[in-house]
Amino acid sequence: MKSNRSRYFAILLALQLVVVQGCSLFKSDYAALQVNDLTAKVNDLPDMQKRTLAQSEQARKQLIEQFKKAYALAQAAEDEDLDDSDEYKKRKVIIEDQLLGREFSNRNLEFSPSNDELTKFAADNRATFDADIDLLTGESGVKATDEEKNAMSLQWADMKIRAAKGREAGLMKDPIVKSKLRFELANLLANLYAGLVEDRNKLSDQEKADYIAKNPTADINDRKRQIEALLQRLKNGEPFEKIADEMNEDGTRGIGGDLNWTMKGKMDPEFEKAAFALGKGQYTTEPVKSSFGFHLIKVDDRRAVKKDASIPPAPAGQPTAPPGPSSPPSSGVEEEIRVRHIFISTQEAESFERRLIDERVKRAIEDASLKYKVEVPSDFTVEVPGFNPHTNRLRQGGGTMGPMRGGNPTDGR
């Protein structure tokens, strides 16, 4: 009996040793951030950023913390087996190709595939290109035109050809390339983990209902009922300016909802469309929904002005249109309207869910950053040839800009 018990404990001890050894054998690539990894990454930065890092210990420490967080989240992603997911594997190939293509190009400046080579490669590998481009553009929701796809296919072919040359040259074994790739893959895993955390922290219908019960301004339907009630008061004969002064939820409260003079192209599209459809003295007979909230709109006056005439600044809270491309100056006149509104905001109703999810994700990311340990150096050196971080200037006759000379200091970069 004693002999059997001894054998039993011996087996348990052996199993424990196997587990411990297994843990050491499978230590994550992201458990430690080495100085040479940081150097390899920083060397790819623009000279101005490298000078800032060379000069500022605080900036270097911030960079270390940034990479430390990415490495911690990469470990969290590995624990979730995200490094075995189809999306990771597909994106990893693209990241490797992009890096190898750049590295090969930097080391072989004379190499340049002909247009015929690019066209043939793109045609021969169309299915792979389509899969890659769908993966890269799918999140944006923007559908490329056939002309844009053809141009991208040549760029993609150029990258793939250069990447293949890089593999043939053995760049995947180069320590600098391996360090850079580790950073790229850490960021990929960190982003995949953040996406997983967000999916897990979406609000349930009950959670949304509970929040709305405690925060009435988050109820979009209640907001609409309020503007409809104000419209009824208006129809019952109450002055527009009186209701605006009493109820507006922006900077026009107290000035009768006055938004000053405006012309087309300056305001939220839905607001503008409704406003310019009104005659002098008219107001909208139904609420207008803009990206800011619900409006009742009144036009006090209309006038013709030169298109380049200056417009007085609008009060705070005016529903201004998002910035867009500037229109070239042109001759002639354009109509302006003097407009005011009664306004009920929907910002809380339309943003609370996103805000609460972001808060949950932030907490989960912070927890993971603390849970997964990453060994990091206390500091590292940034070498910028010819640059003295103590004097904040290039030495005479050398450095990344060559001999000191007059002219634009950014020339030649």
Q: What is the CATH number of the domain that holds 236?
A: 3.10.50.40
Same domain, 155 and 56: yes
Token pair, residue 349, equals 């109703």
- Closest by alpha carbon to 30, among 69, 65, 59, 64? 69
Give the pLDDT confidence score for residue 350 in this predicted structure.
Answer: 97
Same domain, 58 and 183: yes
State how many domains the chain has: 2
Domain membership of residue 350 (yes or no) is: no
Same domain, 195 and 244: no
Same domain, 151 and 189: yes
pTM confidence score: 0.75
Same domain, 289 and 339: yes
Integer distance in angstroms from the first to the last C-alpha of the chain? 80
Same domain, 153 and 221: no
Give the pLDDT confidence score for residue 279 in this predicted structure.
Answer: 96
Give the pLDDT confidence score for residue 390 in this predicted structure.
Answer: 62
Same domain, 149 and 77: yes
- Closest by alpha carbon to 121, among 168, 158, 164? 158
Low-confidence stretches of the chain (pLDDT < 70) are: 1-26, 138-141, 308-331, 387-413
Token pair, residue 294, equals 């619900």
241 backbone dihedrals φ, ψ, rounded to 5°: -65, -35
Token pair, residue 390, equals 């103590």
Give the pLDDT confidence score for residue 384 in this predicted structure.
Answer: 84
Give the pLDDT confidence score for residue 412 in this predicted structure.
Answer: 39
Give the pLDDT confidence score for residue 383 in this predicted structure.
Answer: 84
Give the residue numbers spanning the domain of 295.
217-313+333-345
Give the pLDDT confidence score for residue 389 in this predicted structure.
Answer: 60
Give the pLDDT confidence score for residue 24 in this predicted structure.
Answer: 42
Same domain, 169 and 260: no
Query: CA 343 to CA 334: how far, in whole Å?
Result: 27
Give the pLDDT confidence score for residue 13 in this predicted structure.
Answer: 44
Same domain, 298 and 178: no
Query: CA 5 to CA 279: how far, in whole Å?
Result: 98
Pairing relation of β-strands 333-345 and 258-263?
antiparallel
